[in-house]
Amino acid sequence: MTNAEKQQIDLLNAVLEVYDQKFIAAHLRTYSSGSVSRETINRWLKGKSSPNLTYSEFQQLTDLLPKAPKNPADYDFTFVDLFAGIGGLRKAFDAIGGECVLTSEWDDYAVRTYKANYYSDPNKHVFNRDIRDLTLSRDLAISETEAYQHIEKHVPDHDVLVAGFPCQPFSIAGVSKKNALGRKHGFECEAQGTLFFDVARILAAKKPPMFMLENVKNLKSHNKGKTFKIILKALDELGYWVSDAEYAGKQDPKIIDAQNFLPQHRERIVLVGYRKDLNIDTDFTLKKINKLFPENRPTLGDLFDKEVDEKYILTPRLWEYLFQYAIKHKAKGNGFGYGLVNSESITRTLSARYYKDGSEILIDRGYNSETDFYSKKNQSNRPRRLTPRECARLMGFDKPGEGEFIIPVSDTRAYKQFGNSVVVPVFEAVAKLMKPQIILAQRSFSSRSKAAA
């Protein structure tokens, strides 16, 4: 294989991490007079024939991948992106000058979307598919020392650990096993079997100056509050202060609602921590985030597509089902039902199940509740779902009127991905608040390291 052929195969493999062979073949046919098919690409990859891309075709494939930054030396700090999804937190920390040196995400389709949108320097960046391969948490027979040595070897040094870990119950079922292995208690005991345990292990081994963890609001009350208590206890044990840890109740600044940034009610809990031993005298608090609320928050109407395919309009059968379902539960005194919104509304939380029926956010197209549901006009004005592009804007991956965020997956996958993600402007604001502390912690850590040397 010649060097030119190897370059073409390497490029094809990189593009195939995002798009399938059918898409690539169609894309090439659009920009060339050749007859490239899926079978052609398959033969190239299997070595049955040599690729013969023209310069123009090679450039068109290259353009499908994210571009390297023009000034890569301008990064201000490094971070790792754990449970990355489609990169909502990556986008936020990129925006304040961060360089991502490790990404961990297990879902195949989320990885496609992530790789379609974010450049990662192959010489500096690690892409991990299962965080447990980094932490060795699946094998209880592996000692903490062995696990930490493995993490030290495979996880790059970083200034900030960023993670949106799943909410899971904690159990002490493994205590006797750990006693038998001579393992100390603490988070290595209480958090075992949860994915927070893997985050904690990386914090323990790498000791980054700061972290930012996010989760659903209900993390605080999960398992009668036990889960959240164990998490705070573990972070304290690991040598970190957690900002605003003393607050609880409705005034807790750790709970941030996205509707202050975009027209969606979506509350998340945010934990910002920094190492106690760095002795950073800081007045950091998430209470200051209100200073970063936009003066003119976009309306829902600002996020709408100018033209919408009819396939997003609910079928008569589905609309009738949702209508009757809401009536039935209203009669029982329940609040279950669809969420009909207009251009000035604040929507409910977009969920990962949105692809099923879209019931939590239905765009009103002229339904009149004062007239017969089955009237011809009401039936022709059935509501519609948000399009995936509108979901991208509602989650802050695209600005109003824009469509730059690449969605390389089906509508069903896209709905799941956006529903599982974070509202980007919320975390851009958190990141902006954190940046002075990141730089301060970075300098303190550097000074300590030089003194120790």
**Is residue 94 included in any domain, yes or no?**
yes
CA–CA separation, 274 and 207 (whole Å): 10
> Both 346 and 217 in a single domain?
no
* Cα 71 off chain centre by: 25
In which domain, by residue range, is 384 found? 300-419
> Both 322 and 227 in a single domain?
no
Mean pLDDT score of the chain: 90
Q: How confident is the model at residue 103 (pLDDT cuts 50, 70, 90)?
A: very high
Looking at the DSSP bridge assignments, the partners of residue 267 are 257
**Is residue 69 included in any domain, yes or no?**
no
Q: How confident is the model at residue 83 (pLDDT cuts 50, 70, 90)?
A: very high
**Burial (0-12, 13-18, 19+ Cβ within 10 Å), 58:** middle
> Among the options 100, 167, 189, 391, which is catalytic?
167
- Number of domains comprising the chain: 3
**Which has the closest alpha carbon to 430: 280, 242, 293?**
293
Residue appearing with tokens 């600002």: 302
**Which has the closest alpha carbon to 83: 134, 47, 36?**
134
pLDDT digits (tens, 9 = 90+) for 166-203: 766 544 334 333 444 444 445 555 555 578 999 999 99
Instruction: Provide, rounded to the nearest whole percent, the portion of the chain with pLDDT above 90.
Output: 72
> Both 11 and 97 in a single domain?
no
pLDDT digits (tens, 9 = 90+) for 6-61: 999 999 999 999 999 999 999 988 877 667 889 989 998 998 998 888 888 899 99
> Both 345 and 264 in a single domain?
no
C-beta neighbour count of 56 within 10 angstroms = 10
C-beta neighbour count of 233 within 10 angstroms = 14
**Is residue 321 included in any domain, yes or no?**
yes
Q: What is the DSSP letter of 296?
A: S
CA–CA separation, 204 and 200 (whole Å): 6
Q: Are 104 and 84 in contact (CB under 8 A)?
A: yes
pLDDT, position 175: 36
Q: Give 177 or 278, the one with higher predicted confidence.
A: 278
> Both 218 and 351 in a single domain?
no
**Which has the closest alpha carbon to 106: 83, 75, 135?**
83
> Both 139 and 170 in a single domain?
yes
pLDDT, position 177: 39
Q: Which two tokens stand for residue 397?
A: 């991956």
| Secondary element (H or E) of residue 341 | strand 340-341
> Both 254 and 224 in a single domain?
yes
pLDDT digits (tens, 9 = 90+) for 29-42: 887 766 788 998 99
pLDDT, position 78: 96
> Both 289 and 306 in a single domain?
no
Sequence-separated (6 or more) residues with CB below 8 Å from residue 281: none
The whole-number average pLDDT for the span 261-290 is 92
Among the listed ranges 141-150, 172-181, 364-373, 407-416, which one has the minimum average pLDDT value?
A: 172-181
**Is residue 126 included in any domain, yes or no?**
yes
pLDDT, position 186: 52
Q: How confident is the model at residue 270 (pLDDT cuts 50, 70, 90)?
A: very high
**Is residue 342 included in any domain, yes or no?**
yes
| Secondary element (H or E) of residue 271 | strand 267-275
Rounded to two decimals, what is the model's pTM? 0.91
pLDDT, position 181: 43
pLDDT digits (tens, 9 = 90+) for 309-357: 999 999 999 999 999 998 887 766 666 679 999 999 999 999 999 999 9
> Is 391 a catalytic site residue?
no
> Both 280 and 313 in a single domain?
no
Looking at the DSSP bridge assignments, the partners of residue 273 are 211, 242
Looking at the DSSP bridge assignments, the partners of residue 293 are none
**Is residue 68 included in any domain, yes or no?**
no
pLDDT, position 14: 95
pLDDT, position 185: 40
CA–CA separation, 243 and 139 (whole Å): 33
**Is residue 198 included in any domain, yes or no?**
yes
Q: Please, how many CA atoms are within 13 Å of residue 83, restricted to the half-sphere of its CB?
A: 19
pLDDT, position 91: 98
pLDDT digits (tens, 9 = 90+) for 356-394: 999 999 999 999 999 999 999 999 999 999 999 999 999
> Both 152 and 262 in a single domain?
yes
pLDDT, position 329: 76
pLDDT, position 171: 44
CA–CA separation, 68 and 61 (whole Å): 15
Last residue of a domain, one of 34, 62, 90: 62
The whole-number average pLDDT for the span 244-258 is 93
pLDDT, position 450: 63
pLDDT at 420 over 70: yes
* Cα 400 off chain centre by: 20
pLDDT, position 442: 84
> Both 214 and 306 in a single domain?
no
**Is residue 70 included in any domain, yes or no?**
no
- CATH number where 245 lies: 3.40.50.150
The whole-number average pLDDT for the span 280-308 is 93
> Both 387 and 361 in a single domain?
yes
Q: Are 266 and 260 in contact (CB under 8 A)?
A: no
pLDDT at 147 over 80: yes
pLDDT, position 335: 62
- CATH number where 346 lies: 3.90.120.30
